[in-house]
């Protein structure tokens, strides 16, 4: 059978399977001997406002991560003011459905509450004050969900692609020490919780080397670190799969778990802004080529690329303990609005009609 026929045949079966609303298998069942399979969940899913997405999450996933509701700007918008409703509902939802609940994220320069590192005049606070605020915040968050959150993304996006430290309020005020401090505080608050460090562009050699060093340094100091999260917000032509694979191997060799934490594959042309989630530009239609649907050849290329990455993750399931998608279906993906607002992207395993795409449907039909 030639390659083309081999690809088309399972597609046909898969399409039937997913239109029937009775998939032959679920992702969590299929990958159960490989890794946890997770999804980022917005509060809409949890609060019953998107029931079809809710069914997808409960049917296919056994790990969830909070898309936004546990970030400091949401949960602790002003000093001493906590808004717990959404995060509480999110954790309840995960527990009710028997899922591993992942906390995201404790120390991150983006979506950081504006008061966190500043005094009332808007100037940076002292190192002493920032340490106290970090300790207090991390203790408050982690203790509240003690025993209920499997693991925390303790520090997010601390390193630049070349391996140097990102300038951020935490780094500017505390230097490199902010990372070990965050891990120390999180472990104090829940000694049983797993603790992770998370970042994007993990295929970059400089970043790879730096994270290996950070993990080794944390352990040399006797601090707990359980895993390295590789976000994996990827595109059709970046990163190179073998560079990403080198990082999986290097991270696995440190002895901690490797996690794919925020996987999605954009099909849209790259818009060069900064790498921060706050770096957003207005819609320019020339960067939005598929507002009405994905041409067949682009869809096929997307599914081929997704299948290659699924294979990659399975090949390394000895070190990869979780693969989490950054969402469930295309209509809800953050990629529709970042780094340019109002585009139409197709980055997730379920399409806008909540149907599983061929790469994943075929995978579920295959013997694992």
Residues with catalytic function: 157, 262
CB of 50 to ligand XIL, least distance (A): 14
Q: CB under 8 Å, gap of 24 or more: what pairs does 172-179 form?
A: 172/124, 173/117, 173/124, 173/125, 173/126, 173/127, 173/130, 174/127, 174/130, 174/131, 178/107, 178/130, 178/134, 179/155, 179/214, 179/218
Spatial distance between the Cα atoms of 2 and 115, rounded to a whole number of angstroms: 61
Cβ of 236: how many Cβ atoms within 10 Å? Answer: 15
Name the residue among 272, 264, 250 with its Cα closest to residue 202: 250
3-state DSSP call for residue 144?
helix
Taking 3-state DSSP, the helix, strand and coil percentages for the chain, each rounded to the nearest 5, stand at 40, 15, 40
CB of 281 to ligand XIL, least distance (A): 14
Asked if the bond preceding 260 is cis, omega within 30° of 0, the reply is no
CB of 225 to ligand XIL, least distance (A): 18
Q: Quick one: CA dihedral 118, 124, 128, 130, positive or negative?
A: positive
Considering the complex, state which of residue 14 and residue 159 has its C-beta at the smaller distance from ligand XIL: 159
CB of 232 to ligand XIL, least distance (A): 10
3-state DSSP call for residue 112?
coil
CB of 111 to ligand XIL, least distance (A): 6
Spatial distance between the Cα atoms of 232 and 201, rounded to a whole number of angstroms: 7
Binding site for ligand XIL (CB under 6 A): 67-68, 156, 231, 262, 277, 334
> Residue number with the shortest CB distance to ligand XIL?
334
């Amino acid at each position: 059978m030639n390659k083309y026929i081999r690809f088309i045949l399972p597609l046909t079966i898969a399409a039937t399977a997913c239109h029937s609303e009775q998939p032959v298998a679920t992702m969590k069942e299929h990958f159960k001997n490989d890794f946890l399979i997770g999804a980022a969940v917005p509060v809409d899913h949890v609060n019953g406002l998107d029931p079809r997405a809710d069914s997808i999450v409960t049917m296919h996933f056994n790990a969830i991560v909070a898309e936004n509701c546990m970030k400091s700007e949401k949960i602790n918008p002003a000093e001493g003011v906590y808004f717990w409703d959404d995060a509480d509902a999110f954790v309840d939802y995960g527990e009710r459905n028997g899922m591993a609940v992942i906390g995201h994220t404790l120390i991150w320069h983006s979506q950081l509450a504006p008061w966190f590192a500043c005094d009332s005049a808007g100037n940076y606070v002292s190192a002493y004050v920032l340490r106290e605020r970090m300790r207090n915040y991390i203790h408050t968050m982690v203790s509240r969900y003690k025993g209920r959150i499997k693991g925390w993304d303790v520090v997010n996006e601390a390193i630049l692609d070349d391996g140097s430290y990102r300038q951020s309020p935490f780094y500017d005020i505390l230097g490199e020490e902010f990372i070990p401090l965050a891990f120390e505080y999180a472990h104090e608050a829940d000694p049983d919780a797993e603790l992770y460090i998370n970042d994007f562009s993990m295929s970059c050699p400089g970043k790879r080397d730096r994270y290996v060093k950070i993990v080794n340094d944390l352990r040399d100091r006797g601090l707990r670190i359980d895993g390295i999260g590789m976000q994996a917000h990827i595109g059709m032509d970046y990163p190179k799969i073998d560079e990403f694979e080198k990082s999986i191997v290097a991270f696995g060799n440190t002895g901690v778990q490797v996690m794919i934490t925020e996987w999605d594959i954009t099909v849209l042309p790259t818009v060069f802004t900064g790498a921060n989630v706050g770096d957003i530009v207005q819609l320019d239609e020339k960067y939005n080529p598929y507002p009405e649907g994905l041409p067949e050849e682009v869809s096929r290329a997307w599914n081929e690329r997704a299948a290659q990455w699924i294979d990659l993750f399975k090949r390394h399931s000895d070190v990869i303990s979780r693969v989490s998608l950054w969402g469930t279906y295309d209509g809800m993906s953050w990629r529709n609005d970042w780094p340019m607002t109002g585009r139409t992207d197709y980055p997730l395993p379920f399409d806008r009609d909540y149907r599983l795409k061929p790469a994943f449907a075929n995978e579920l039909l295959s013997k694992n």
